[in-house]
Amino acid sequence: MGCYGRFRFSPFLIKLQYNRANFTIQGNNIMDLFAQLLPFVFLIAIMYFVIIRPQQNEAKARQAMIESLQKGDKVVTNGGFIVIINKVEEKFFSVQMNKDIVAQVTKDSIARKYEDDA
């Protein structure tokens, strides 16, 4: 590497400047570009298969679970309440908390179906 005054120029930068000045594209540069972009393509593919795809599958399974709920099912809300579904509406569930209390909750607030182990 040469040092000219306060600036250092690498041979790579000089080569790029020379190629830009002559407006030439060499086959080498395309392979270099491909070699530089290949790790990013692998990272994006890994992120898709490790993060995005499992999250989409989980969302589909959750949506199917919510659509399959019917009257009499026990569910756990996001607040931690174990309730029984009284009525299924378009965007809400009418739920019974105990003998006297009936409330409405949104379908998004259902965490999971409650399974009795006893």
Select from 2.60.120, 1.10.3470, 2.30.30, 1.10.3710 the CATH code of 70-118: 2.30.30
Q: Which residue has the higher pLDDT, 25 or 70?
A: 70
Query: Rg of the chain's alpha carbons, rounded to an integer?
Result: 30
pTM over 0.95: no
Is the per-residue pLDDT at 85 higher than 90? Answer: yes
For 72, the 3-state DSSP assignment is: coil
Given its phi and psi angles, is residue 72 left (phi above 0), alpha (psi -120 to 50 degrees) or beta? left
* For the chain, counts of helices (H) and of strands (E): 3, 7
Q: Which two structure tokens, joined as six digits, stand for 9?
A: 């120029």
Res 58 pLDDT > 90: yes
Residue 2, pLDDT above cutoff 60: no
User: Over the stretch 96-108, which tens digit does the pLDDT of each residue have?
Assistant: 999 999 999 999 9
Kindly indicate the confidence band of residue 28, based on its pLDDT and cuts at 50, 70 and 90: low
> Can you tell me the distance from the alpha carbon of 98 to that of 22, in angstroms, rounded to the nearest whole number?
82
Q: Where are the domains of the chain?
A: 11-68, 70-118
